[in-house]
Chain A
């Protein structure tokens, strides 16, 4: 318990200065490090033929985002399919089948890292470094760029002071945002963390797989192949960038990815530090310090409740082995070295932050903790992915303003700009889209005979499928596993889910911000809705819980909630 509090306190403490630093980087505030970074940035801008001073409208920003993503995705797809012809493949791994390669490329370009493959066996070092890690570095910064553009839009854009009502607003330059964030924030952090992890024993080598002779003859094999590689760098980026895709199939449960208690603590901090820093960025970036208090208050409240439930749940005995002489916590699917507490903590934060790396098998969590993981991903903005978590939060903020705002006797306004039919239509579309994609695909996978290919019957089987699509739509990437997911159905349906969970969820709010930015801004008065208050924070929590629970309760009841009730009912 003390350990959990210490880790969380450290994360928040580190996130505070990091958030202020993020704001400075995004605002382009001059700093001493310019001497180092400006030449690199200028080179990049020159290579890409970018004028860094040119602002972009929401359209330009969205287009740049889409174009860069499409190019990178196709590039990664080709690398994965043809890795056997490419260098840095000491273990002679063959190319991926087209559908698996496509799913993998989409999974990583969407900052999801859902894996229908095992990295150590199916990806070459080149694929890991060029295909996987480069996307793990860029995609979180792209998400953060979109979030920054949306925040700029909500306050009228960078040209708010001079632009006329109805005039297109400058939401920043996409290329500059992503370049600066990657160079000045993400790469230095990754460097520090990968060195720290290397020091703890995470492999960091270009040598091929090692062989070892098992001491215990009962293992039944003469020698064991131990895949290694430049693992530390990849683990660092996967944790820092809410990515989550591991080098090894079992992710951070494998000692080679997560060897020591210190490594485990560092990785948990890495999972949450940037998502929390983004919240602390909001105040200095927008000049509205109290806005940070609202966002942090709402997210932290939900986070603590979710953490607490997961902890409590995993301290309950596993029903399958209930009635033992010495009842203990649920240790099924867990590393004994992390125990129930460390695994439950990880399970909670990895689903809150859209990270998706695991140090225990979520399939084996007690049903309540499984429900917590699912609800975290359905909300997907308790911290959430870097940038996209904040965007999701802003969507809930706008919806709450629309519903509750009327009760103060004014038509709803966001920072003085009216929320009208056009915006509400776009936001409504997002709510419908989420349930249509997740529930629609879940229903199809369960109805079409044989496609789910899951390992469990009954409620748990339903939960496995529901979890997979929820995780994909949330761009989380963790799995309940137990699915025969290396099939066309899973690769393609999950790819569609991944895309729909990423692009509309980032671009529609960007469009809404672009529309709001152009509107007339009313000065705030005693009659305006004060969103930075405890009352409104409570309203927002109610709206978030209500929308999520009301839409997904039946599906949850037919899955983990049902399982929990059956346990409770005996």
Chain B
């Protein structure tokens, strides 16, 4: 899906503007504060190395010894730290761009509080939960809340970027409204549900700005491993002079610092925070607000997706596909009756019956003086009372049969067979009858969304099972499940069945994700490992889920899983790359350290670098430059092709493992050639 065209105000607006760049560069320096640096042990060691080498160069300067080389090393180290900080700052700046556009939407909101029969104008910041505010057409909603009275169409573009208005109504699952959105028509009373500063939008902004940013569990684990590797290399470097002195080899401290910095995993250490922030930003670009980075990470681990049939797997509306006449009636009679009964029917199903009947050649006479009988939960059927006195009804089999019995109309023996045949084909049977006879059955088929089947196949290849939830009977459900290619289905499901199914899946050790919007979905959303709430849903649903989709598109869950996987793959790929890089750096620096004392070491110099000084500088320059070179990859994420774990592993290992060994050999050699050309072989 191309989000950029639909969501004009999204992150894209903030992509690397000159101002964002400036901010990121400034932040790169701000982040040099030791307290901030301590959180990243790898880069902290580089910073300490910078200070140490700077001191050494100043000392040499004071003593009148050569100092320039040491200073250059110090400078490269400093730049390495800045690059790492810059990577994080750029990721944050992109998030902030998003936040700024969101915040603009709520500037200066004013609410009309309704109290004791009187209005009172208040700044939004002074509204408290349970206050009732009244919002009329063309006014902005001042605070998150639920409609307690009225119906309104609302433009939520300020939050979702979607300009088509949405309908919100009291007492339904679509009663939630968001601060900053605009009422287009009618007037509603809204009960405020959020504390000032803690509204949905506020939390979103806080989240995006990184105010709540904590290291996710996997990020923390990786940081621990990287810190351990750093410690190992610190031990290696610290003990090296002790070993060397036994063979009367003196090692320059500056070269030792260079060796240390080259060996510790600076590439992944520098990019790790940016990768995490970028993951959340990617979720935002897809218009999904994750309440924590952990949720995005967890999305990659999902084993089972619970998907509502309607709206997710099938188009929301069923469509008439076939007329089947029963004994004693002809298809044209049925067609004509169905058409008459549906002409005034405003539902999509009714319209589709009209369309099918007309397409098959049925025509209706004048129905202007007839009375339309709308569907009601009580009668469970709809129809028309014609001026001629003829009454036509359509509805579920049981409802029509009951109606026919009351009117002493015979029920043909082949009705059940026709009904069953339709149900087995995955469609819903709608029986049509009039005062004198039962005419036949209309098949209302669910239309499986285009491309859904392929998407499920991709998920299956990734090891994610899909379970369809539907209120349909098992026969219909099975047919649709087969057509859509889901792995399993839950038919005649009540809300509590969802919860039970989630618990059952979790008891078998699976991580479950689900989509929900209604208040009765809230327990299931809370129980699921990933609960993606629809923005159009109730406040309760949004509170219960750990992600909210601003577009209210249930298929978004599939994108969320992919974003989670991409985040983890990017982290793993860059870790592997970073470690693999060390091989070549050893081949550059080890000969440089020892070749003067132990001439045989020249054999290790397989890159044939121009000299020890250039070798060390080339390795350090590569080490620094690879960080900004990989920032785009860290922000974009490693391109993710769904496939089996085996194929993913093989591909990424070749690309980042083998590539990580080979690339720096070439790069260091090239940098050395440039250094030799400019400064001569040293």
Contact = CB atoms under 8 A, between A and B. Distances in A.
Interface of A: 399, 402-412, 416, 419-421, 423-425, 427-429, 431-432, 435-436, 439-440, 442-444, 446-447, 457-459, 461-462, 466, 520-523, 525-530, 533, 535-536, 538-539, 542, 546, 550-555, 557-558, 562, 565-569
Interface of B: 217-218, 220-222, 224-225, 227-229, 231-233, 235-240, 242-249, 259, 263, 297-298, 300-301, 303, 460-465, 506, 508-511, 564-566, 568-569, 571-573, 575-576, 579-580, 582-583, 586, 590, 594, 598-604, 640, 644-646, 648-650, 652-653, 656-657
Contact of A536 (B220, B239, B300, B649): B649
Given A539-B649, A546-B583, A551-B232, 15 more contacts: A407-B649, A409-B565, A411-B568, A412-B218, A420-B221, A440-B235, A443-B238, A447-B246, A526-B462, A526-B463, A565-B600, A565-B601, A567-B600, A569-B600, A569-B602
A562 B243 contact: no
B601 A557 contact: yes
Contacts of B583: 546, 550
A444 B235 CA distance: 13
B217 A411 contact: yes
A407 B573 CA distance: 6
Contacts of B653: 404, 407, 535, 538-539
B601 A428 contact: no
A523 B653 CA distance: 25
A431 B236 CA distance: 12
Contact of B301 (A411, A436, A542, A553): A411
A558 B221 contact: no
Contact of B603 (A407, A521, A525, A568): A568
Q: Which of B222, B237, B239, B653 has the most CB of A within 10 A?
A: B239
A424 B590 contact: no
B228 A428 contact: yes
A40 B585 CA distance: 60
Contacts of B235: 432, 435-436, 439-440
B39 to A, nearest CB: 15
Given A442-B239, A530-B646, A562-B594, A405 B572 contact: yes
A562 B653 CA distance: 32
Contact of B569 (A408, A427, A447, A567): A408
B239 A439 contact: yes
Contacts of B649: 404, 407-408, 529, 535-536, 539
A424 B263 CA distance: 20
B677 to A, nearest CB: 28
Contacts of B236: 435, 439, 551-552, 554-555
A173 to B, nearest CB: 27
Contacts of A411: 217-218, 297-298, 300-301, 568
Contacts of A403: 225, 572, 575-576, 579
29 contacts: A403-B225, A403-B576, A404-B576, A405-B572, A406-B222, A406-B572, A407-B572, A408-B645, A408-B652, A409-B300, A409-B565, A409-B569, A410-B301, A411-B297, A411-B301, A411-B568, A424-B221, A432-B235, A436-B235, A443-B238, A447-B245, A526-B460, A526-B462, A535-B649, A539-B653, A554-B236, A557-B594, A566-B598, A566-B600
A480 B603 CA distance: 26
Contacts of A459: 247, 598
Most buried by A among B221, B510, B648: B221
Pick the 5 closest A-B CB pairs, nearest first: A527-B463, A406-B572, A409-B565, A428-B228, A525-B463
Nearest to B603: A565
A424 B604 CA distance: 34
A419 B573 CA distance: 18
B587 to A, nearest CB: 10
B224 A428 contact: yes
Given A424-B221, A542-B657, A550-B586, A407 B460 contact: no
A554 B244 CA distance: 10
Contacts of A466: 243
B115 to A, nearest CB: 50
Nearest to A524: B463
A410 to B, nearest CB: 5
A526 B464 CA distance: 8
Nearest to B561: A409
Nearest to A568: B603
**Chain B CB within 10 A, most for which of A405, A427, A542, A558:** A558
A523 B243 contact: no
B645 A526 contact: yes
Contacts of A528: 463, 645
Contact of A461 (B247, B594, B644): B247
- Please indicate which of the listed interface residues A405, A527, A535, A566 has the most CB atoms of chain B within 10 Å of its own CB: A527
Contacts of B575: 403, 406
Given A523-B508, A565-B600, A565-B604, A446 B243 contact: yes
Given A403-B572, A535-B653, A554-B590, A421 B224 contact: yes
Contacts of A546: 579-580, 582-583
Nearest to B226: A428
Contacts of B644: 526-527
Contacts of A525: 303, 463-465
Of listed A410, A439, A542, residue having the most chain B CB within 10 A: A410
The winner among B233, B600, B656 for most chain A CB atoms within 10 A is B600
Nearest to B653: A539
A458 B597 CA distance: 11
B571 A530 contact: no
Contacts of A458: 246-248
B590 A553 contact: yes
Contacts of B300: 409-411
Given A421-B217, A421-B221, A428-B225, A443 B239 contact: yes
A446 B652 CA distance: 43
Contacts of A539: 649, 653, 657
* Max count, chain B CB within 10 A of own CB: residue among A406, A423, A459: A406
Contacts of A520: 506, 509
Given A523-B303, A523-B509, A569-B599, A409 B462 contact: yes
Contact of A431 (B228, B239, B465, B601): B228
Nearest to A436: B235
A536 B566 CA distance: 20
A409 B509 contact: no
Contact of B652 (A407, A523, A555, A565): A407
B593 to A, nearest CB: 8
Contacts of B227: 428
A157 to B, nearest CB: 15
A538 to B, nearest CB: 8
Contact of A569 (B462, B603, B646): B603
Among A458, A554, A557, A562, the one with the most B-chain Cβ atoms within 10 Å of its Cβ is: A554
Nearest to A429: B228
B474 to A, nearest CB: 25
Contacts of A429: 228
A521 B509 contact: yes
B230 to A, nearest CB: 10
Contacts of A435: 232, 235-236
A482 to B, nearest CB: 14
B243 A443 contact: yes
Given A402-B225, A421-B224, A523-B303, A533 B510 contact: no
Most buried by A among B243, B249, B508, B602: B243
A461 B511 CA distance: 57
A485 B333 CA distance: 109
A177 B510 CA distance: 34
